Amino acid sequence: MAQTLTDIKNLLAGHGLHPKKRFGQNFLHDGNHMRRIMDAAKVGDGEMILEVGPGTGALSERLLEAGASLVAVEIDRDMEPILCDRLSSFGDRFQLHIGDVLESKHTLNPAVVELLHAASDSDPSAIPHPPSPIPFKLIANLPYNIASPLLVNLAVDHPGMSAAVVMIQREVADRIIAKPSGTSGGGGKDYGPLSVILQAMCEVDVVGTLSPECFWPRPKVASAVVRLVRRVNPLADDPAALSGLLQKLFQKRRKQLGAILGRDKALPEGIDPDARPESLSVEQFVDLARWSG
């Protein structure tokens, strides 16, 4: 049975707990939006799902009831007994890791990677080292402070992630889908490295927006559900080189390319040395990364 706001409050109170600001705990209790996430993710029977920040397991239950295998990563150890009590009946299809999903800003926790592979293989001793990519989807109400680094890390370094449907801060969603200046609806400070990297690796769109009233406690900002689907042929063949170039250029986003890269260099065809970084398309950044490499 789907968890209501009353259920969530009672679960926490029964363990003497309350939402912890340091972990960014804002519990989604709107069933309509949870159904929207499930519909957007198109979870199939037997699919592998990574959920980060499951909280009391409201979304986790829906994922498991849909027949998925779930690796849940929860940083708050106090949530462990709640999750185990609620989800242990799903047997081996539910695996829980207590800890941070990221080892560093640029690296996924190796324990999470191992758990994804172990959950996909009945014989963990048979897992190759290093393990080969396995297909999985990221579906989560992400803590705001890890959304950007986690999405970039999975998109760039973990080709096994076929798609992600995540609830994030609306401001971050705007940056993910932003377009370059000079295009319809483009321009402004939202377009930057996050936009280019994720759009180079994935097709991105906003599924819907949520008001603070959909969460408890209410956050001070609006949220959005974003869907990323990995491109069959990513635009960037060297995303690390692309990322390095983007950091260099967008640190001086108001300067012309020629002033940043040198006026004595012939840039790739179609790229004007008098243009500013915020006006380049994703494809042009990819061309420029190949050129600079």
Helices (H) and strands (E) in the chain, counts: 11, 11
Helix (H) or strand (E) holding 206, with range, is strand 202-210
User: What per-residue confidence (pLDDT) applies to 252?
Assistant: 92
Residue whose structure tokens are 């998925």: 68
Using the predicted structure, report yes or no on whether residue 135 has a pLDDT greater than 60: yes
Residue 214 CA: distances (Å) to CA of 26, 31, 34, 238? 9, 9, 10, 39
Read off the pTM: 0.92
What local confidence, expressed as pLDDT, does residue 7 receive?
A: 96
Q: Is the pLDDT of residue 235 over 80?
A: yes
The closest alpha carbon to 58, from 9, 22, 98, belongs to: 9
pLDDT, position 132? 52
Residue 105 is predicted with a pLDDT of: 87
Check residue 124 and give its pLDDT.
46
Q: What is the pLDDT of residue 12?
A: 98
Burial of 12 (0-12, 13-18, 19+ CB in 10 A): buried
- Say which amino acid occupies 182: G
293-to-78, 142, 157, 246, 277 alpha-carbon distances in Å: 47, 34, 19, 13, 18
pLDDT digits (tens, 9 = 90+) for 100-116: 999 998 899 999 999 98
Per-residue DSSP letter, 233: S
Q: Is the pLDDT of residue 10 over 80?
A: yes
* Domain boundaries defined on the chain: 5-230, 239-292
Angle formed by the axes of helices 147-157 and 193-201, nearest 10°: 40
CA angle, 155 then 159 then 165, to 5° = 50
168 pLDDT above the threshold of 80: yes
Per-residue pLDDT at 122: 46
Assess whether pLDDT exceeds 50 at residue 148: yes
Give me the mean pLDDT over the 223-236 stretch.
97
CB 116 within 8 A of CB 50: yes
Per-residue pLDDT, averaged over 275-289, amounts to 96
Whether residue 129 has pLDDT greater than 60? no
CA distance 111 to 5: 32
Q: Could you give the percent of the chain with pLDDT greater than 90?
A: 85
pLDDT for 133 equals 63
> In this structure, are residues 165 and 192 in contact, taking their beta carbons and an 8 Å threshold?
no
User: What confidence tier does 293 reach under pLDDT thresholds 50, 70, 90?
Assistant: confident
Geometric angle at alpha carbon 49, from 30 and 209, rounded to 5°: 35
Q: Which CATH architecture has domain 5-230?
A: 3-Layer(aba) Sandwich (3.40)
pLDDT tens digits for range 81-94: 999 999 999 999 99
Return the pLDDT at 187.
Answer: 72
Q: Could you read off the pLDDT of 57-81 as tens digits, one per residue?
A: 999 999 999 999 999 999 999 999 9
The average confidence (pLDDT) of the chain is: 92
Q: What is the pLDDT of residue 186?
A: 76
CB 219 within 8 A of CB 209: no
How far is it, in rounded angstroms, from Cα 45 to Cα 69? 8
pLDDT in tens, 20-30: 999 999 999 99
Integer Cα distance of 73 and 264 in angstroms = 50
What is the CATH T-level fold of the domain 239-292, as seen in this structure? Answer: Helicase, Ruva Protein; domain 3 (1.10.8)
pLDDT-derived band at 1, boundaries 50, 70, 90: low
